[in-house]
Structure 1
Amino acid sequence: MVEQKGHVLLFPGQGSQARGMGEELYNNSLAAQAVFDDADKICKRLGLPYRITEVCFQDPLGQLNGENSDTAVIQPCLLTYGVAAHRVLEELKVPPASLSLVHSAGKYTALAATGALDLEEAIHFVSTRGVVMKEAKADIQAAVVVVVGLESERILEELAKARKQLGIQEGELFFDLSSLNTRIQSMLVGPKRFLVEVTENLIAAGARQVEEYKDAIPSHYTGLAEAQRRLNEFKLHLRAPKMPLLDDITNRALESIEDINIAVETHLISPVFWRGSLLHLNKNGYQCGLEMGPGVKLKNMAKRECPKVLVLPTSSWKDIQAIKRELSKTA
């Protein structure tokens, strides 16, 4: 039973997508059906060469995962899913949450779900975001790496050591922290040509795993300054959200349009401190969160940092019914 503080929404970024995502929601909820159908119409108006329902439910071209994965398609699909899941909860009269936690591209899903951004503009924005990210990867030849078993402070020490060993000057692109997910799980981004040396240093320092995500697109990295500049040409028409968003960069609540604009303008070049968002749940007494995306990526991270917080998925209709039962106990 959920007590006291109420619940929060957790909006994941890329990495939680899977074929079949949202199909059960679509088949069981008129609200979800309306969101997905609207998204298909929006894609047609924007001239995007796919239907979100087809990609989410069937993924015939393998655009969600694997060597053909396409972040410019994945981001609109995840956004549509999160908005649809939120509409389902409203349709079922589940008590409203008091805070949204956002991870990377999940920030834009949360803005659309909580009324700060129209669905069409949100889909257009994240599609554009995906395009500039893909082009940036080709330009800077970057690698995306997961590191398990070292705390962020030690990782930064080893990166500084490797930078010195390789003679990389200040201001030159090198590997840096992209996302601190848990105490001992982080993501790095940096020029692929330095990957071997960085991997060797981190393994020697005690990392259990240092692995390149070969199909991943770099984000939250200083080398994406040109991509961020291009993205900032897209002027969002924001409204104040229905609930505060806890920023994944600063771990501070975003409540005003000005706050959100500032956060968006540097989002792609700033590291994500997701662990700080999870620790916020512990510090402020939250006991329940709802993962507003397919899968349990954020739930698994929460288990490590705030094990007393119950995180419920929205991946299936059975999950939705479980949420309704759990939260109705405190309505």
Structure 2
Amino acid sequence: MKAYVFPGQGSQFSGMGKDLYENNAQARALFDKANEILGFEITKVMFEGTEEELKQTNVTQPAIFLHSVILASTVADFAPEMVAGHSLGEFSALVAAGALSFDDALRLVAQRAAAMQRACDLTPSTMAAVLGLDDEKIEQICASVEGEVVVAANFNCPGQVVISGSHEGVRLAGEKLKEAGAKRVLPLPVGGAFHSPLMEPAREELAAAIENTQFTEPRCPIYQNVNAQAATDVATIKANLISQLTAPVRWTQSVKNMVADGATEFVECGPGKVLQGLVKKIAPEAVTAAV
């Protein structure tokens, strides 16, 4: 079975999507439509912007979403048997599976980015990648940090977990994690503590927008970040999407469950090759490819 997977924040690069725009009329029409919906020329930033401009949350999230979804729309006989997306990529996956329209999903992604930015501005916070320690140990150590917010936020693959929280919480956890044997604790260049309780204001804001958006039953199961389980029920998909902002991304578990349910090939659809690398570490037997 073929699974399509969609990347999240961090995969952006200057020039992303330019070849699609120049060489595919359908893609060009969707990019132009996106500029209208967003109220600014995101294509200009995607095609010509600096790394710094592309890193802004209100640009990064819609840019990666657009690149992923428009790329998928150009695939002949696109027929995923299961889909998943890493964090923001879950919105791309929902469009690819037919659960959300392009327009509605783009509006939600823009609202999500703005809400996350406001939550970041409200409470300065950060994230760090922890290498070479098992998941349970990392969760235990984060829970042992008193008086500060710090949690395991992204279970990316065995031996790679991202922690998220207040600056002091991440610093204290980092020290303890190194003492416990972590090979490295690398601070990440992000604007805030994504997938942590500090995103609660953004979750509340996004919840209202999701509840007021029409979803339809997807044509194939989507494996959602919150619980790594296959979902096709609209109410379940919405609830999981709302919870996603403050809950960890269970990517390791998602890929394992997809393989257990019959996935043999994972096709990454979007900028970069991050997810192919993670899938190879989680399920070495799986075939990986890119659109």
Fold similarity call, TM over 0.5: yes
How many Å separate the matches in 2 of 1:282 and 1:117? 25
1:263 and 1:160, CA in 2 relative to 1: closer, same or farther beyond 3 A? closer
**Conservation of the 8 A alpha-carbon contact between 2:14 and 2:51:** no
What secondary structure is seen at the aligned counterpart in 2 of 1:74?
helix
How many Å separate the matches in 2 of 1:283 and 1:119? 30
Q: CA deviation at 1:215?
A: 3.0
Instruction: State the AA in 2 paired with 1:73.
Output: V
**Conservation of the 8 A alpha-carbon contact between 2:11 and 2:274:** yes
Matched, 1:34 2:29: yes
1:250 maps to: 227
1:55 and 1:223, CA in 2 relative to 1: closer, same or farther beyond 3 A? same
How many Å separate the matches in 2 of 1:195 and 1:272? 18
Q: TM-score, normalised by structure 2?
A: 0.93
Q: TM-score, normalised by structure 1?
A: 0.82
How many Å separate the matches in 2 of 1:177 and 1:81? 28
Matches of residues 198-277 of structure 1 in structure 2 within 5 Å? 198-234=173-209, 235-277=212-254
Instruction: State the AA in 2 paired with 1:276.
Output: Q
Instruction: State the AA in 2 paired with 1:34.
Output: A
Matches of residues 273-284 of structure 1 in structure 2 within 5 Å? 273-284=250-261
What secondary structure is seen at the aligned counterpart in 2 of 1:308?
coil
How many Å separate the matches in 2 of 1:276 and 1:296? 19
Q: CA deviation at 1:60?
A: 4.7
Matched, 1:56 2:33: no
Of residues 256, 259, 265, the one that matches 1:288 is 265
Larger Rg: 1
Q: CA deviation at 1:195?
A: 3.4
Of residues 106, 117, 128, the one that matches 1:145 is 128
Q: What RMSD in Å do the two structures reach over aligned CA positions?
A: 1.7
How many Å separate the matches in 2 of 1:251 and 1:105? 15
Instruction: State the AA in 1 paired with 2:111.
Output: T
2:85 maps to: 102
Q: Percent identity?
A: 27
How many Å separate the matches in 2 of 1:15 and 1:137? 17
1:161 and 1:115, CA in 2 relative to 1: closer, same or farther beyond 3 A? closer
**Residues 137-158 of structure 1, C-alpha deviations (whole Å, 9 max, x = no match):** 1222211111111111111222
Matched, 1:93 2:77: yes
1:298 and 1:216, CA in 2 relative to 1: closer, same or farther beyond 3 A? farther
Structure 1 runs of 4+ with >6 Å offset: none
1:41 and 1:155, CA in 2 relative to 1: closer, same or farther beyond 3 A? same
How many Å separate the matches in 2 of 1:174 and 1:43? 33
